């Protein structure tokens, strides 16, 4: 069941951006927080929200829009990863460029922030972009940014940055992830425009926290769980309360930096257009919730998913224990636990009986299907096949021909030197597709695959990278316990 009116959202959001452009009467630099594409967090906590809604908004006014992608040079040097996609930030710049241009949007340039000629990977990346025909600008480290306003708003501050040549009224500034330098890029442009006598302004498009929902609303609390590793906190915007006597929600970093931003705006524009961090935003999502209870329940489930994921991240050495402790506190606030995720209970109960790795998948009907690891395939492959049988009303019989399994097993152990011969989820689906060409039941099962999108799954052991990736591609919301499926110390 949906709890969010996406059509209304696109209409209100488009209108709000147009209004903000008119307010400034010139060019609008629109900082995009969060994910421009693939906003799966929003689609999970606001059922009905489309993951590409932000792009759809831009597409509605695409003749007025151009996009600038910003990446921090240090993120290039450190090969920083997008955890959800498993690719580096600099790879994501290229991905974003392709995705945006394929939607008919103009991507005019890439900015490398915090650039230094001593940063060899950043220099190499600039060369690669230019060889691909992309326009690249360089922005530099400014000592004392943002607090040293007299230094920042000067020729030794923003003045030493390259000026980004733009041609359209709405300049969307986006990035692969947080800390890339989007806001500094926007402010630098305001400085250069002011020197050129051009009118321009700044606004922020960030979905969460939703400013006109209560601080303790599960949707806003779910945002805190998503940023637990960043130490972000939702809080009442004190500047908005002081200016208007209205309680709104923002997050600590924007509130903390607002006095400095306000002073920067005053220095850049003559006077600040904003009285609060909330004023800077153009987010209309809160007006588009059509069923609050559905969104509340979805947000609670998201917090549980984040908690289980954090426990795995601690086990594999990626995150500190403090993240789990913070999420545990958030769970307590909401009065929920792991057992409130139905597939967790089913998977753990079946493991006690099976004694092996187990996966449980909840279909859209509410029915939960389980699968266990065997000498033929791992537990995720097994639950896929069992779920497809259930959806296709197929008897519990083998769907994959032995002639399709054995060659894969032989290849893995004999030619590729892998320790285990069982098929992972991707291999099992490929084998099923081969069998579908000669077996009508296998074909019926394979045709059910799209029905797995949006389903919930839990495994009693940490999934392999391949299984995790295939679940992501199929749109399955996967969690797992923090146990390895084997005693081997090398696992991937």
| 355 and 209 co-located in one domain | no
Q: How far is CA 215 from CA 227, 234, 299, in A?
A: 15, 7, 14
| 214 and 283 co-located in one domain | yes
Which DSSP string corresponds to 128-197? HHHHTT--EEE----TTTTT-HHHHSSTTTGGGSPPPP--SSEEEEE-SSTTSSHHHHHHHHHHHHHHTT
Q: pLDDT value at position 67?
A: 97
Q: pLDDT value at position 420?
A: 72
pLDDT at 448 over 80: yes
Nearest CA-CA partner of 16 in 287, 217, 367: 287
* H or E stretch covering 330: helix 321-334
Q: pLDDT value at position 200?
A: 93
| 18 and 111 co-located in one domain | yes
**Residues 388-400, mean pLDDT to the nearest whole number:** 93
**Residues 182-198, mean pLDDT to the nearest whole number:** 94
Q: pLDDT value at position 395?
A: 93
| 248 and 378 co-located in one domain | no
For the chain, the average pLDDT equals: 92
Q: How far is CA 247 from CA 62, 152, 213, in A?
A: 34, 32, 9
Q: pLDDT value at position 416?
A: 66
Q: Residue 395 sits in a domain of what CATH number?
A: 3.40.140.40
What digits encode the pLDDT tens for the residues 207-263? Answer: 999 999 999 999 999 999 998 887 788 999 999 999 999 999 998 888 988 898 888
Structural domain total, the chain = 2
β-strands 368-372, 358-362 pairing: antiparallel
Per the domain annotation, does 313 fall within a domain?
Answer: no
Cα Rg, the chain, nearest whole Å: 25
User: Would you place residue 492 in the very low, low, confident or very high pLDDT band (cuts 50, 70, 90)?
Assistant: low
Q: pLDDT value at position 188?
A: 95
Q: pLDDT value at position 406?
A: 76
Per the domain annotation, does 33 fall within a domain?
Answer: yes
* CB-CB neighbours of 91 under 10 Å: 15
**Residues 112-126, mean pLDDT to the nearest whole number:** 97
pLDDT at 92 over 80: yes
Q: pLDDT value at position 1?
A: 86
**Residues 109-121, mean pLDDT to the nearest whole number:** 97
| 249 and 373 co-located in one domain | no
Q: How far apart are CA 365 and CA 480, in angstroms?
A: 22
Per the domain annotation, does 486 fall within a domain?
Answer: no
Q: How far apart are CA 386 and CA 419, in angstroms?
A: 26
**Residues 46-63, mean pLDDT to the nearest whole number:** 94
| 279 and 348 co-located in one domain | no
Q: Which residue has the higher pLDDT, 403 or 299?
A: 299
Q: Residue 125 sits in a domain of what CATH number?
A: 3.10.630.10
| 82 and 167 co-located in one domain | yes
Per the domain annotation, does 184 fall within a domain?
Answer: yes
Q: pLDDT value at position 216?
A: 95
Q: pLDDT value at position 94?
A: 97
User: Would you place residue 182 in the very low, low, confident or very high pLDDT band (cuts 50, 70, 90)?
Assistant: very high
pLDDT at 413 over 80: no
Q: pLDDT value at position 417?
A: 62
Q: pLDDT value at position 476?
A: 95
pLDDT at 491 over 60: no
pLDDT at 489 over 60: no
User: Would you place residue 419 in the very low, low, confident or very high pLDDT band (cuts 50, 70, 90)?
Assistant: low
pLDDT at 488 over 70: no
- Share of residues in the chain with pLDDT > 90 (%): 75
User: Which one of 273, 288, 303 terminates a domain?
Assistant: 288
What digits encode the pLDDT tens for the residues 333-361? Answer: 999 999 999 999 999 999 998 889 999 99
Q: pLDDT value at position 36?
A: 82
Per the domain annotation, does 326 fall within a domain?
Answer: no
Q: pLDDT value at position 458?
A: 98
Nearest CA-CA partner of 399 in 412, 381, 422, 417: 381
* H or E stretch covering 362: strand 358-362
Q: pLDDT value at position 178?
A: 85
User: Would you place residue 490 in the very low, low, confident or very high pLDDT band (cuts 50, 70, 90)?
Assistant: low
| 256 and 359 co-located in one domain | no
| 248 and 177 co-located in one domain | yes
- Share of residues in the chain with pLDDT > 70 (%): 97
| 354 and 284 co-located in one domain | no
**Residues 455-465, mean pLDDT to the nearest whole number:** 95
| 358 and 273 co-located in one domain | no
Q: Phi/psi of residue 364, each to 5°?
A: -65, -25
User: Which one of 259, 288, 317 terminates a domain?
Assistant: 288
- Report how many helices (DSSP H) and strands (DSSP E) the chain contains, helices first: 20, 14
pLDDT at 409 over 90: no
Residue 447, both tokens: 């045709």
| Residue 234, domain extent | 6-288
pLDDT at 375 over 90: no
Q: How far apart are CA 269 and CA 285, in angstroms?
A: 29
Per the domain annotation, does 243 fall within a domain?
Answer: yes
Per the domain annotation, does 312 fall within a domain?
Answer: no
User: Would you place residue 270 in the very low, low, confident or very high pLDDT band (cuts 50, 70, 90)?
Assistant: confident
User: Which one of 242, 257, 288 terminates a domain?
Assistant: 288
| 251 and 120 co-located in one domain | yes
User: Are the C-beta atoms of 477 and 455 separated by less than 8 Å?
Assistant: yes
Per the domain annotation, does 440 fall within a domain?
Answer: yes
């Amino acid at each position: 069941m949906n709890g969010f009116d996406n059509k209304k959202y696109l209409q209100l959001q488009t209108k709000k951006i147009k209004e903000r452009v008119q307010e400034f009467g010139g060019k609008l630099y629109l900082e995009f927080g969060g994910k421009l594409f693939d906003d799966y967090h929003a689609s999970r906590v606001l059922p009905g929200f489309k993951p590409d809604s932000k792009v759809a908004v831009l597409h509605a006014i695409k003749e007025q829009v151009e996009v600038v992608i910003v990446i921090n040079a240090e993120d290039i040097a450190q090969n920083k990863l997008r955890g959800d996609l498993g690719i580096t930030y600099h790879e994501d710049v290229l991905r974003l460029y392709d995705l945006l241009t394929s939607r008919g949007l103009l991507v005019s340039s890439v900015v490398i922030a915090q650039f230094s000629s001593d940063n060899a990977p950043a220099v190499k990346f600039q060369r690669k972009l230019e060889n691909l025909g992309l326009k690249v600008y360089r922005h530099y480290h400014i000592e004392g940014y943002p607090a040293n306003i007299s230094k920042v708003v000067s020729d030794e501050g923003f003045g030493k940055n390259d000026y980004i040549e733009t041609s359209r009224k709405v300049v969307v500034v986006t990035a692969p992830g947080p800390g890339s330098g989007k806001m500094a890029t926007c402010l630098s442009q305001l400085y250069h425009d002011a020197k050129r006598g051009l009118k321009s302004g700044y606004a922020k498009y960030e979905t969460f926290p939703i400013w006109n929902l209560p601080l303790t609303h599960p949707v806003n609390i779910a945002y805190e769980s998503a940023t637990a590793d960043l130490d972000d906190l939702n809080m009442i915007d004190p500047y908005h309360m002081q200016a208007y006597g209205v309680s709104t929600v923002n997050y600590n970093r924007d509130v903390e930096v607002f006095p400095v931003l306000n002073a920067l705006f005053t220095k850049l524009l003559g006077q600040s257009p904003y009285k609060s961090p909330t004023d800077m935003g153009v987010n209309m999502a809160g007006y588009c919730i059509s069923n609050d209870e559905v969104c509340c329940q979805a947000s609670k489930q998201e917090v549980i998913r984040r908690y289980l994921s954090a426990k795995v991240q601690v086990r594999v050495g990626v995150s500190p224990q403090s993240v789990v402790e913070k999420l545990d506190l958030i769970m307590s606030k909401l009065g929920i636990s792991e057992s409130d995720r139905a597939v967790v209970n089913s998977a753990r109960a079946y493991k006690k009986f099976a004694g092996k790795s187990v996966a449980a998948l909840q279909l859209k009907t509410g029915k939960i299907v389980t699968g266990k690891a065997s000498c033929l395939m791992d537990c995720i492959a097994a639950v896929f096949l069992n779920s497809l049988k259930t959806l296709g009303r197929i008897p519990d019989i083998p769907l994959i021909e032995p002639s399709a399994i054995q060659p894969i097993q032989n290849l893995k152990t004999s030619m590729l030197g892998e320790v285990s011969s069982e098929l992972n989820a991707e291999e099992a689906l490929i084998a099923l597709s081969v069998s579908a060409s000669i077996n009508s039941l296998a074909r019926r099962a394979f045709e059910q695959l799209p029905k797995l999108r949006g389903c919930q799954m839990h495994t009693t052991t940490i999934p392999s990278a391949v299984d995790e990736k295939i679940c992501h591609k199929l749109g399955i919301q996967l969690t797992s316990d923090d146990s390895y499926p084997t005693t081997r110390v090398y696992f991937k």
